[in-house]
Amino acid sequence: MTPVPVTPSARRRGRPSRVLVYAALTVALAATLIPFVWMFLGSVKTEAELRQRPPTWWPQTFTWDNFTAWFGRLDIGTFFVNSVVVAAFTVLGTLVFCSLVGYALAKLDFPGKRVVFTLVLVTLMVPGVVTFVPLFVVVSKLGMVSTYPALILPFLAGPLGVFLMRQFIKDIPDSLIEAARIDGAGELRIFLRVVMPLCGPALATLAILTFLGSWNNFLWPLVVAQSEDMYTLPVALSLYSVGQNSTNYGVLLAGSVLIITPVLLLFVALQRYFIQGIAATGIK
């Protein structure tokens, strides 16, 4: 935040409204944080206390049972590794492929370019459930059911990513690219040395969107992973906490803490880049 110079009279007039703004922000902050605080506190409560009416805020009895369930009885390490591998490769692949396609659609001239771009936009409109079963049939015909490629490949070049990168790269001045071309740089060199360094904010946005999508994805991993050692975290969370007729809230909350904490830490560490990225792409 850059400080805005204000005249004394403006400051006086601004004060009551500023109090209001801060009050509103505090309420919004509380509304955002309270569910997280509730989740963390709930994860160390007993099942009986979680279901108690009226609910308790601070745990009456601390228990680590919900966490020991995840680390003892349930094999959280395997699920965690699966989630990390799938998310990492999905993000990397998406960044590479979407920026390549986006660059071609934004800056290169080739026959059928408009048709290709229109097709990308059209696939953006097709809801996932429509292609879900055919996609699974393809994966099973390729013999990839219950493998990492099945969990990763379908998400490597999403239309949203292509669209995002194309829009961002389009705004990079042509003269920069032409200058590089005059200096004798090839297409790949231009892409890597001129275009990519300018795409930082867009790449950061795409990375975080893809990561969250992959980390939280439930239905596809559920269907494709046909043995428990290929389950990802959301599938495992659903398996062990949500029954047909009842929910084990303690295990659910402890599992949620374990799933969300790495993402939260990642966000805090990389916060600056994300805000930059979202602000930069959001303006257009």
Partner 1 sequence: MIRHRLQAAFAVAAASALLVSGCGRAESPEQTGGAAATELSDGPATGTVTVWAQGTEGEALQDFVKPFEEANPDVQVEVTAVPWDSAQNKYQTAIAGGTTPDIGMLGSDWMPGFRSALTPVPDDIDTSDVFPFAVESTQFDDARYAVPWYVETRVIFYRTDLLQEAGFDEFPADWEGLKDLARAYQEDTGAEFGISLPSGGWNSFLGGLPFAWSNGAEVMNEDQTEWTLDSPEMVESLSYLNSFFEEGLADKSPDTESGSASADLVSGAVPMFLSGPWDIPGLELAGGEGFEDKFGVATVPAGPDGTSTSFAAGANLGVFEDAENPDAAWKLIQWLSEPDVQARWFEAVNDLPAQQSAWDDEALTADPRVAVFGEQLQSVKIAPTLVSWTQVSAAADTQVEQIFRGGKDVEDALAELQSTADSLGTGQ
**Where along the sequence are the contacts to partner 1 (CB under 8 A)?**
46-48, 51-53, 127, 129-130, 132-134, 136-137, 139-141, 145, 218-219, 222-223, 226-228, 235, 238-240, 242-247, 249
Identify any residues that bridge with 242 across adjacent strands, giving them in sequence order.
247
Ramachandran class of 143: left when φ > 0, alpha when ψ lies in -120 to 50, beta otherwise? left
Contact 217, 90 (CB under 8 A): no
Q: Are 105 and 113 in contact (CB under 8 A)?
A: yes
User: Nearer to partner 1 by C-beta: 190 or 252?
Assistant: 252
Cβ nearer to partner 1, comparing 47 with 187: 47
Distance (Å, whole) CA 124 – CA 137: 21
Least gap, CB of 233 to partner 1 (angstroms): 12
Whole-number minimum distance, CB 259 to partner 1, in Å?
15
Tell me the C-alpha distance between 214 and 208, whole Å: 10
Q: Which is nearer to partner 1, 28 or 48 (CB)?
A: 48
| Cβ proximity to partner 1, 70 vs 240, nearer residue | 240
What is the H or E stretch that residue 226 is in?
none
- CB 73, min distance to partner 1, A: 9
Q: Running DSSP on this structure, what letter comes out for residue 229?
A: G
Nearer of residues 171 and 229 to partner 1, judged by Cβ: 229
Give least dist CB 102 to partner 1, A: 29
Which is nearest to 154 in space by CA: 216, 94, 200? Answer: 94
Q: How far is the CB of 163 from partner 1 (least distance, A)?
A: 24
242 secondary structure, DSSP code = B
